[in-house]
A and B are shown apart, each in its own frame.
Chain A
Amino acid sequence: MTALLAIEHLSIAFGGLQVVQDLSFTVPKGRATALIGPNGAGKTTVFNLVSGVYSPTGGRILLAGRDITALPSRQRIRHGIARSFQNVRLMDHLSVVENLLVGQHATTRGLRDLLVPFRLVPNHRWRREAIDALAEAGLAAYADAGVGGLPYGIRKRVDLVRATLSGASLLMLDEPAAGLNPTETNALRDHLALLRGRGVTLLVVEHDMQFVGEVCEHVVVLDFGQKLAEGTLAQVQRDERVRAAYLGQAA
């Protein structure tokens, strides 16, 4: 089992506060890995480090064996890392399909693609691909809607579709099921299964343990920026320190 993503001794501090500390774990290729832990454990910070929004104060990030720690955030998507956002960040000035067209950027090349007035062409390949991806997620009806007025669950899933359109091999999903109703959660699960069928590797931050159990074979538990445990969901749930961390938060 080869690792697609390897985090090695990663650390970052904000104003003296050590948010991630000497963290190491790997994300196996073609599998779904969950990153779980109490609030404030540093999960989103790990996403921000891997996607390049933050630079670590120490440690390395390897993608398919290649060190990408110093790679600018912009270039990471072309190397195969795409992500969704905890608090859905769609571009509110654009329609759904326009958001997806931006998500396709990593698959385009050069000035010609940038400057061709493709939206004069009815049913252009780019638009078709975006609508197909939307249809796979069962959202084709929303193609030309403005994103601002859409229900939260739809926005959330459009955010996911946008990430898939980059053709990335690693999808990082930040709480994809949060705020979805049961029907939407089912549709999300089917959609993720479809993506995995194409060999996409998943790294998922999620609080819903049932969802984690159904989707992810591998679980990494984080607390105070450090790795607490690793294994299958059943294994980590039996771990004393993991229970203490979650109970400690509940108290």
Chain B
Amino acid sequence: MTGYQSGLLVILCFNVIAAYAVYLPMAAGQLNLGVAGFMATGAYAAAYLTNEAGWSIGAAVPAGGACAGLLALLVAVPILRTQGIYLALATFALGQVIAAIFLNLDVVGGAAGYPVSAYAGPGAVFAATAAILAAMLLLSRTRFALYLTAIKSDPVVTDLMGVNVRAVQVGALTLGAVIGGLGGGLYGHHFSFVEAQHFNVALSIFTVLYVLLGGVQTVWGPLVGGAFFTLLPEVLRAGGGWRYVLFALLIIGVMALRPQGLVTAGAHWRPRRRAASRAPSRTSGHPGPETRLSTEVSGS
């Protein structure tokens, strides 16, 4: 593997990890526009622990993930009082605040950035990504994953089925933040440097972009979206300055022609063959929650 290839693969790994951080809450219909904040938390916490407290990378990175998760847990309860677009914008504000706080935190270098002495090579990044991917695949076969989709479909009925909707949502946001924090911690240790400016709105928003591009119907969506997002600009490299123009046109085109994302449920992605029976329901596009609820009010 050439340096270029392994470098690209490392970027792919970071993008995929971030994608799963966004995917978990989004599977329950919660748009997280502040994932960069959780990644920054993990990056700074892990870097601080190896730099100042002498921890090993193997201990510091998970601890960074835990810090990000803890932060998510603290803010999840008040933030999840809001719903829909409000929730998305609350996470957006949160991401901005976290990045801005680190920018002003002199203990970790402030605006000058924070050099990290311990180094995690590409092998460590690949292994960690594989582990996260395996955990996501296992999680996708649990009731928890089922409830995420149920909540996305119909939170009121899911509540009446006895599922603690709020707790599942807090869990999804928190677990997503832990993954984001892990990714951030690895990122800092791989590039030996953490700067708050990297964890900006664009990072949060682009991550959402490729999760949706991949599709949130199956657990494979973020992987495909992350890969697509990482590799396509490379393929388009010949286009020079125009490559991101082409890329943007592609995003608009995909969303207009295939709004459910690149990977959908059914076909061979699922262990049981059910493609034939479910295909029509997937492509016809179901009415959004608002439309569905408004037809329901009339009953008395």
Contacts and interface: CB of A to CB of B under 8 A. Distances in A.
- Do A and B touch (CB < 8 Å)? yes
B145 to A, nearest CB: 9
A162 B144 CA distance: 18
The contact size tier of chain A is 35 or more
Given A94-B150, A115-B144, A149-B280, A74 B299 contact: no
The contact size tier of chain B is 35 or more
Interface stretch (A28-36, A117-125, A186-194, A228-236): A117-125
Contact of A93 (B138, B149, B157, B299): B149
Given A45-B300, A106-B162, A92 B143 contact: no
Given A51-B160, A92-B281, A148-B282, 11 more contacts: A43-B300, A73-B160, A87-B299, A93-B286, A99-B150, A114-B144, A114-B147, A119-B142, A145-B274, A148-B278, A150-B281
B281 A147 contact: yes
Contact of B153 (A39, A93, A150): A93
Contact of B278 (A75, A95, A119, A162): A95
A114 B163 CA distance: 10
Given A41-B300, A117-B141, A83 B160 contact: yes
Interface of A: 19, 39-45, 51-53, 73-78, 83, 85-87, 89, 91-95, 98-99, 101-103, 105-106, 108, 113-120, 144-150, 162, 166, 174
User: Considering residues B142, B164, B299, which has the most beta carbons from chain A within 10 angstroms of its beta carbon?
Assistant: B299
A42 B144 CA distance: 36
Nearest to B29: A93
Contacts of B159: 73-74
B204 interface: no
B274 A95 contact: yes
B149 A91 contact: yes
A94 B281 contact: no
Contact of B143 (A75, A101, A144): A101
Given A41-B300, A147-B281, A117 B138 contact: yes
